[in-house]
Structure 1
Amino acid sequence: MAAAVKKRSCGASSLISLICVLSLFRGGESVSRKVSRKLSVELNPGSTSTPPGGDLLHVRAVGDNDTLHFLFCSQGAPTLLLVHTNTSSSTVQVNWPQFVARNHSGSLKVEPESSVLDSTAVVFSRLLEYDDVNDTADPTSDLFPPYELQDFSWSRLNLSGPTALLCGAAATFTNGSLCLQLSVFESEGRGQSWPRLLHTANSSQLEVWLDSVLPRATRSRFLLELQAVGGAYPLSRVEVHRSIDDEFTPSIFKVSQWVSSVNGSSDVLGFVQWKPVAYRQSEPALEDATPCRHSDPRPQSGEATAAASGLIRAFYAEPETFGLNVSFGLAGDPFYNSTKFLSWTVLVGSGSPPVDSFSPLVITMMAVGLGTPTILLLLGGVCICVRKRAAASTTTYEPIN
Structure 2
Amino acid sequence: MADTTTWLGLLQIICTIHLCTGSSGSEPSLSKRNVTSTFNEGCNMTFCLKPNGSSYINLFHVTAKGENDTIHFLWSSYGALTGIVVRTTNDASLRIDWKMMEKKEIMKEQNAIRFLPKDSVLFSSAVIFSRLIDFNDTDDTASLSKATAMNVRLFENLSWDNFNLTIDHKKHQGRFVSPSLGNLSLMVQSFEDEGRGSLLPRLRHTSNSSYFEFALKNISTAYKQPRFAVEVILVGGDKQQNGTSFSISRSIADQYTPSVFYVDNINFANSNSSQGGYMSWKPVAYTEEERHLANGRMVHQYGLNTTSVGYVPSYSIAHAFYGNLSQLNLSSMNVSFGNDGDGYYAASNYLVWGGLIGYGEAPLDGLSMLILIIISAGLGLPALLILGGGSIICLKKLAKKRNYDKLMVDPGVN
TM tier, smaller: 0.7 to 0.9
Q: 2:90 aligned to 88, 91, 97, which one?
A: 88
Change (3 A) 1:276 1:236: farther
Asked if the contact 1:76/1:308 (under 8 Å) is kept, the reply is yes
In the alignment, structure 1 segments of 5+ residues that lack a partner are 1-8
CA shift for structure 1 position 23: 5.2
CA shift for structure 1 position 308: 2.9
- State the SS of the aligned residue for 2:238: coil
Change (3 A) 1:373 1:131: closer
2:201 is matched with 195
Asked if the contact 2:61/2:75 (under 8 Å) is kept, the reply is yes
Asked if the contact 1:238/1:256 (under 8 Å) is kept, the reply is no
1:159 aligns with 2:167: yes
The alignment covers a number of residue pairs equal to 384
User: What is the one-letter code of the residue matched to 1:336?
Assistant: Y
Q: How does 1:145-156 map to 2 (within 5 A)?
A: 145-156=151-162
Asked if the contact 1:69/1:82 (under 8 Å) is kept, the reply is yes
In the alignment, structure 2 segments of 5+ residues that lack a partner are 51-55
Change (3 A) 1:351 1:212: same
Deviations 1:110-149 (A, max 9, x none): 2222121221111111111122233344535543442211
Counterpart-to-counterpart distance in 2, 1:10 and 1:37: 47
Change (3 A) 1:250 1:38: same
Counterpart-to-counterpart distance in 2, 1:192 and 1:365: 28
1:209 is matched with 215
1:3 is matched with none
CA shift for structure 1 position 235: 6.5
Deviations 1:83-126 (A, max 9, x none): 012x2222211112112333323111122221212211111111
Q: 1:353 aligned to 355, 362, 383, which one?
A: 362
Asked if the contact 1:207/1:346 (under 8 Å) is kept, the reply is yes
Counterpart-to-counterpart distance in 2, 1:17 and 1:10: 11
Asked if the contact 1:235/1:322 (under 8 Å) is kept, the reply is no
2:53 is matched with none
Counterpart-to-counterpart distance in 2, 1:388 and 1:39: 74
Identity %: 31
Q: 1:271 aligned to 271, 278, 285, which one?
A: 278
Asked if the contact 2:143/2:336 (under 8 Å) is kept, the reply is no
1:44 is matched with 40
Q: Relative contact order (alpha carbons < 8 A, sep ≥ 6): 1 or 2 greater?
A: 2
Using structure 2 for the length normalisation, give the TM-score: 0.81
User: What is the one-letter code of the residue matched to 1:322?
Assistant: S
1:257 aligns with 2:259: no
Using structure 1 for the length normalisation, give the TM-score: 0.83
Q: How does 1:1-400 map to 2 (within 5 A)?
A: 13-22=8-17, 24=19, 29-48=25-44, 50-52=48-50, 53-85=56-88, 87-102=89-104, 103-104=106-107, 105-139=110-144, 141-157=147-163, 158-160=166-168, 161-170=171-180, 173=181, 176-232=182-238, 237-241=246-250, 243=252, 245-262=253-270, 269-302=276-309, 305=312, 307-309=314-316, 311-319=317-325, 320=328, 321-370=330-379, 395=405, 398=409
Counterpart-to-counterpart distance in 2, 1:60 and 1:284: 31
